[in-house]
Chains A and B, each alone.
Chain A
Amino acid sequence: MTTTTGATTTTGAFGTARTRVEGREKVTGAARYAGDIPLPDLAHGWMVLSTVARGRISSIESEPVLAMPGVLAVIHHQNAPRVNLDYMGMIGKPDPILGVFQNDRVPFMGWPVALVLAERPEQAREAAEALVVRYEQEPHDIGFTAGHPDMYTPPDSPFGPAVASKGDVEAELAASTFVVDSEYTTPEEHHNPMEPHAATAHWDGGRLEVFDSNQGSMMVAAELAQIFSLDAESVRVRSEHVGGGFGSKTTRPHQVAAAMAATVLQRPVRVVMTRRQMFSTIGYRSPTAQRVRLGADESGRLRALDHRSECVTSTVHEFVERSASVGRVMYDADAHYTSDRVVRLDVPTPTFMRAPGEAPGSFALECALDELAEKSGIDPIELRVRNEPDRGPVSGLPFSSRNLVACYEEGARRFGWADRDPRPGVRREGRWLLGTGMAAASFHSGAGPSTAAVTAEADGTFTVRINAADIGTGARTAINLVAADGLAVDPERVRVVMADSDLGPAMLAGGSMGTRSWAWAVAIAVSELRERLALGGDIPPEGSPRAPTPPKPSAPSRKRSGTPSARSSPRWPWTSPAERSGCGGCSASSRRAGSSTR
């Protein structure tokens, strides 16, 4: 059959309602997730976590456990292969929790101390429960409190400085007509995707293969290669379906443990975390203690914006929940002071979780703005409009785009803001008390380099290959539509192959940047293919150009976009922080305050 791309012209699929490409697999149970991949001779690993908050392992009594039915091995710090953690990963230096079973130190409760391997999961579970681990306990401090004496200012990071300021906050506060001084706390929050972290690892023809649940297979493959000192080409990671991530499905102890065990046993090994284990091993959002001081003149114009946030990290790795930095792009003020400080306690290491920083930080800052509106008698929207900056309030740099005031206007129109009764507790609908309110937030708008390949097949279909991850966001469907529109063909004729580290480097599904980053690469690849086909006319019977056969990247149809091009493990983020990228994610929304009356 001979087909030309012009034969079926369908434009504008993107932006229309579509059924998910993988929808049928998901509603029939056919979609296989990381823990669903059957492999012959599979062994099951069960993680054993520390039961003390700080100390040293004094002994691990593995002999009785090894005698239990079906038990194959117990891997712990005295017998585990050594690993390497001296590298820079896609999202920074590795959390030492990835160095599983490397030493006797226990820095927090729930730290992996052993992996029990058995023929069947029931046997592994019982053996893991029966394993006696003795500790030399040390005094611990797990109590996060505002103003903890060990609170410190962390060094600046790629995500921005810990402290940013301009002007004299104290002087401006003293001169203000209205002053708000409030403290806000947010609790720790856990990602808890529905699918627990799971990895099935095996050696296949000299390559380490891992069926995993992650937000970026390139990131995991590159890190596993580093950890086990392997060539990057010797590791293949796939995660075709991912049961949610929310920031937690990066490189985590389960992949390392599974790969280590597959190496030790020389057979396939699956490690699935239990729901309980996920509370200490996959990261979480730190609790925060925040103080916001706002000073405004008679008209509500801010003279001072002072936002100080404190959070917690572990003693082994620094992760800072950057809550205070939201004000740096949101509101103008004569004087600004924003700081994020952190304390190292004997607790698990927090990590990225759904708008890290922005979520708790916006909560505090926006509450303070509301309190200022209340105090000054100025409408909450009007108050924000009066403090709308025309350039970065601290950086002084222009915004690439910013439509916040238009968002306020549209939001106010849609919610009937002008006619609302601002008094609390005056509207009731059934069981609910209804109120209206508003808040604004900003999220950075970046993109990362990705590679994509598009192949015109002999049967008139097209195959898009990109190492994207669909963690439920609909990325697979979006990529399908971007490609279909670019090729001007019906989406049914486009197949998307993804979530495989052999497909080459690509952005991870994180920071709200995945689909955007991948779509660029796909759009460029598609456009080049179209040009080529337009020049050459019909597709030859064998397809044109030929599809690259992983793992060998083949040049003709592989198109690279973004920068840099040659490096296989670029650092994230590639783009500048929020204030320089404007306010692409700005929005105004209405808050529905309710309380049950039953």
Chain B
Amino acid sequence: MKEFGYQRVLEVSEAISVLGADPDARFLGGGTNLVDLMKTGVERPGHLVDVTELPLDRVEVTPEGGLRIGATVTNSDLAAHPEVRRRYPALAQAVLAGASGQLRNMATVGGNLLQRTRCGYFTDVAGPCNKRLPGSGCPAIEGEHHNHAILGASEHCVATHPSDMGVALAAFDAVVRYETADGPGELPLADFYLPVGDTPHLETALPSGALITGVTLPPAPVAAHSRYRKVRERASYAFAIGSIAAALDVRDGVVHEVRLAFGAVASRPWRALEAERALTGGPATAEAFAAAADAELAAAEALPHNGYKVPLMRNLVVALLTELTEEATR
């Protein structure tokens, strides 16, 4: 870890101007990912702008019945918030499924969205990685990739996005709010993460120097009937090998509205729009759920050691939607 300057800022405008003055500066939130990457040498900032004291730590219900979540809200506070648990239970569950109690106390919403992949090649500075060192190659494709992407990857990178929170946000049409020197801006989460293509090092569509100020969740009554399920290699405190956020509104055995998003299968939280289309207006049966999952996963391209994710995600879709259907008819 090289030496760096440090500054704690109290206003958003100050944060943006300090960062803008130094191309080598980075925002510091909870630090649970950034400090770790600084220790391994993946990140070598010259200056840290500590944004944890910015007045962005509120969760508020919007007049329309959605939520405005500040960027510095910690994962713990987000998951414990009654309105999150009431209106978007899958979001609370997703956050609680991530990391540990200690890390959730430190990690922030803004940082969660910007966290980097846990691909082992990305974090090993001794070797190549297109995301870390553009053009150096992707050893994962020939090497250890049992937990890498099956959707939306490219020959240049097969890393996954590790966020659980982001999967629930994707299902609920979250909009990311940010601030730049030119003023505020917004990006729907669907457009927030860039396609991998041949530029895996470019991860988000955030303008240069922008500070994420928060996330807005539009009202979604269906979200009150939602769940998040995460599969991992041990019972707790591990990244997903596959996860799913689902919300379902069933009326008289027919799918009125459904939301589905997948985690740990792509470079971004994967909204399963194909599956949603296939389900909407159709019967809420296990067969229909499986067919919808197949429709979504038709685009899956498995590597030699991650093909298990295709049936895993299919089973997750069927299991979670079946549970939500049973819950609705109880």
Contacts and interface: CB of A to CB of B under 8 A. Distances in A.
B229 A126 contact: no
A598 B229 contact: yes
B3 A126 contact: yes
B126 A126 contact: no
Contacts of B134: none
Interface in B28-79: 39, 41
A125 B1 contact: yes
B330 interface: no
A122 B35 CA distance: 13
A130 B44 CA distance: 12
Interface residues of B, number: 10
Contacts of B235: 596
Nearest to B319: A598
Contacts of B41: 129
A51 interface: yes
Interface string A128-142: 011000000000000
B301 to A, nearest CB: 26
B1 A122 contact: yes
Contact of B1 (A51, A69, A126, A598): A126
Interface in B233-251: 235
Interface string B2-35: 1100000000000000000000000000000000
Nearest to A122: B1
Nearest to A431: B235
Contacts, number: 16
B3 A51 contact: no
Contacts of A129: 1, 41
Nearest to B232: A596
Contacts of A598: 229, 231, 319
Interface in A389-421: none
Contacts of B1: 122, 125-126, 129
Given A129-B41, A598-B229, A51 B126 contact: yes
Interface string A500-537: 00000000000000000000000000000000000000
Contacts of A69: 3
A129 B41 CA distance: 8
Contacts of A122: 1
Nearest to A130: B2
Contacts of B2: 126, 130
Interface string A451-479: 00000000000000000000000000000
Interface string B121-133: 0000010000000
A596 B319 CA distance: 13
Contacts of A51: 126
Interface string A252-290: 000000000000000000000000000000000000000
A229 to B, nearest CB: 35
B100 to A, nearest CB: 16
A152 B244 CA distance: 49
Interface in A548-598: 596, 598
A258 B39 CA distance: 22
A122 B229 CA distance: 40
Q: Considering residues A51, A129, A130, which has the most beta carbons from chain B within 10 angstroms of its beta carbon? A: A129
A69 B231 CA distance: 47
Interface in A112-128: 122, 125-126
Contacts of A125: 1, 39
A349 B231 CA distance: 34
Interface in B98-152: 126
A264 to B, nearest CB: 25
A50 B2 CA distance: 21
A125 B2 CA distance: 9
Nearest to B230: A598
A293 B126 CA distance: 43
A51 B126 CA distance: 6
Interface in B247-300: none
A265 to B, nearest CB: 23
A131 B190 CA distance: 43
A92 to B, nearest CB: 32
A596 B39 CA distance: 35
A182 to B, nearest CB: 23
A190 to B, nearest CB: 15
A125 B44 CA distance: 13
A125 to B, nearest CB: 6
Contacts of A126: 1-3
Interface string A42-54: 0000000001000
B16 to A, nearest CB: 29
Nearest to B123: A276
Nearest to B41: A129
A69 to B, nearest CB: 8
A598 B41 CA distance: 37
A69 B3 CA distance: 10
Contacts of B39: 125
A122 B1 CA distance: 7
Interface in A21-63: 51
B285 to A, nearest CB: 21
A598 B2 CA distance: 44
A122 B41 CA distance: 13
A127 to B, nearest CB: 10
Nearest to B1: A126
Q: Considering residues A51, A69, A596, A598, which has the most beta carbons from chain B within 10 angstroms of its beta carbon? A: A598
A129 B229 CA distance: 40
A200 to B, nearest CB: 22
A126 B39 CA distance: 9
A130 B229 CA distance: 43
Contacts of B319: 598
A126 B126 CA distance: 15
Contacts of A596: 231, 235
A373 to B, nearest CB: 30
A122 B231 CA distance: 37
A248 B246 CA distance: 46
Nearest to B234: A596
Nearest to A69: B3
A44 to B, nearest CB: 14
A501 B41 CA distance: 39
A51 B57 CA distance: 43
B103 to A, nearest CB: 17
B41 to A, nearest CB: 5
A582 to B, nearest CB: 38
A592 to B, nearest CB: 15
Contacts of A130: 2
Nearest to B39: A125
A596 B233 CA distance: 10
B217 to A, nearest CB: 26
Nearest to B316: A598
B265 to A, nearest CB: 18
B1 to A, nearest CB: 6
B124 to A, nearest CB: 9
Nearest to B229: A598
A78 to B, nearest CB: 22
A118 B2 CA distance: 14
A69 B39 CA distance: 18
Contacts of B229: 598
Interface string B310-330: 000000000100000000000
Interface in A55-94: 69
11 contacts: A122-B1, A125-B1, A125-B39, A126-B1, A126-B3, A129-B1, A130-B2, A596-B231, A596-B235, A598-B229, A598-B319
Interface of B: 1-3, 39, 41, 126, 229, 231, 235, 319
Given A125-B1, A598-B229, 13 more contacts: A51-B126, A69-B3, A122-B1, A125-B39, A126-B1, A126-B2, A126-B3, A129-B41, A130-B2, A596-B231, A596-B235, A598-B231, A598-B319
Give the 5 A-B residue pairs with the shortest CB-CB distance, closest first: A51-B126, A129-B41, A126-B1, A126-B2, A125-B1
